[in-house]
Structure 1
Amino acid sequence: MAHDHGHAHPHTHGNDHDNGDGHGHGHVQGPVADASVRVARPSDAPAVGLVQAVVFREAYAGVLAPEVVAAFEPRPFANAWRATLEGEQSRDGVLLVACAGEQVVGFAAVGASDDADAGPGTAELLVLGVHPEARRQGHGSRLLHAVVDTARARGRDELAAWVLGADDTTRAFLTAAGMAVDGARRERVVSDDGRTAAEIRLSAVLADPGTA
């Protein structure tokens, strides 16, 4: 699945870290009725694009210049996801969405890792984000569990994720879920004018649930 959507190269931002205001996109604070995760449909592209734009503006606010952050608009993200969902899905990629009732409030994509040191059994969490108003309701954790299940179902035995080096909150979220910094670092181009952001990689072995 292509994951270079819009102006940025998305990775793991804006997860459900048990923080934020917990308004739940118009829902009352607390557990959300009918919370679920499912495979995305082409009709979900506008909602995913909206969530991604909000999450990316938040994640990159302290990393990129304001004019670059302001260029993160829903439409380019939505168009890229629609093209991916309507076309041939490459690299064994899957887009998942978290829903509160029928409303998409988060998303995650998983595919095969293309890192030079990755083996054939390594999956990559390409992006994961939850709308700020829908956090503290378990959506991020449900998405991550679905990513792991999806990777296992495709025969993967390891999961990797690249996160912004300055994003301590996302790193803590993934670490709490069992991932660990593995020492890999890179500078990723995140804007059309060539600006870069430092990223670090986390990884984890996906144990067979039957042997856990």
Structure 2
Amino acid sequence: MNSPTSDTGVRTARANDVPAVAHVQAAVWRDTYGPLVDADVAAAFTPAAFEPAWRESLRNPPSPRHRLLVATEGAAVVGFVAIGPADNTDPATGEIYTLGVRPEHRRAGNGSRLLNAAVDTLRAGDFGALTMWLLADDDQTRAFLSAAGLRPDGAWRDRVVAADGRTAREIRLTASLTDSDAVSDAASDSEGRTPHGTDAP
């Protein structure tokens, strides 16, 4: 288990962070989706596969309300969270599209820092509610998010995770952002496993 250090934080991603973010996503996808797909599919979860989408999304974000934040330990990027408007008709609802922490950097507070920064950024953008998708059987991440105040709203979807059409069931969690205590620090930082939602902001 890693121990928190004083040289940690969360900041807005820069263009030169793209390779590091792609490395984090590749590690998270192998950890999360690797057991669900064939070995040759998991082998395709490489930084090179994810880097172009991140580079383009930072160069041309879908809207001014889209953000990519990164968690750092020293100079190293160890996690990220992509946020923006939810894919629904309510402009006041924000979404965490994807949140990931490198497996070897979990349980050190990085997931909590990313979640708190995402909530603060969404509130500053006048979002009044938060939504987030995750794998239905990812009990560890669900426990982390539930401790922070997110709750399932009954919605679900089947996400395609492989070129052969293989799917994985996801559920949606939601929380209010209008109450300053609606989303709080998780009591135990067992975070960062699930790359739900879209692959890039």
Q: What's the TM-score bracket when you normalise by the shorter of the two chains?
A: 0.7 to 0.9
Q: Does 1:120 align with 2:91?
A: yes
1:169–1:110 distance in 2 versus 1, CA, 3 Å: same
Q: Does 1:182 align with 2:153?
A: yes
TM-score by length of 1: 0.81
Partner residue in 2 for 1:66: 39
CA deviation map 1:94-130 (0-9, x unaligned): 0000000111000000011114xx5221111100011
SS at match of 2:69: strand
Q: Aligned partners of 1:165, 1:96: CA distance in 2, in Å?
A: 25
Q: Aligned partners of 2:182, 2:59: CA distance in 1, in Å?
A: 37
Residues 91 and 112, structure 1, Cα contact 8 Å, conserved in 2: no
Q: Aligned partners of 2:130, 2:38: CA distance in 1, in Å?
A: 31
Partner of residue 51 from structure 1, selected from 21, 24, 37: 24
Q: Percent identity between the aligned chains?
A: 51
Question: What is the Cα-based RMSD across aligned positions, in Å?
Answer: 1.8
Partner residue in 1 for 2:144: 173
Query: What are the within-5 Å matches in structure 2 for residues 53-202 of structure 1?
Result: 53-90=26-63, 92-115=65-88, 119-202=90-173
Moved over 4 A (4+): none
Q: Aligned partners of 2:76, 2:40: CA distance in 1, in Å?
A: 30
Aligned length: 183
Q: Aligned partners of 1:210, 1:70: CA distance in 2, in Å?
A: 41
Q: Which runs of 5+ in 2 are unaligned?
A: 184-201
CA deviation map 1:28-73 (0-9, x unaligned): xx22122010000010000000011001100012222222122101
Q: Which runs of 5+ in 1 are unaligned?
A: 1-20, 23-29
TM-score by length of 2: 0.85
Partner residue in 2 for 1:37: 10
Q: Aligned partners of 1:42, 1:76: CA distance in 2, in Å?
A: 17
1:64–1:91 distance in 2 versus 1, CA, 3 Å: farther
SS at match of 2:155: strand
SS at match of 1:72: coil
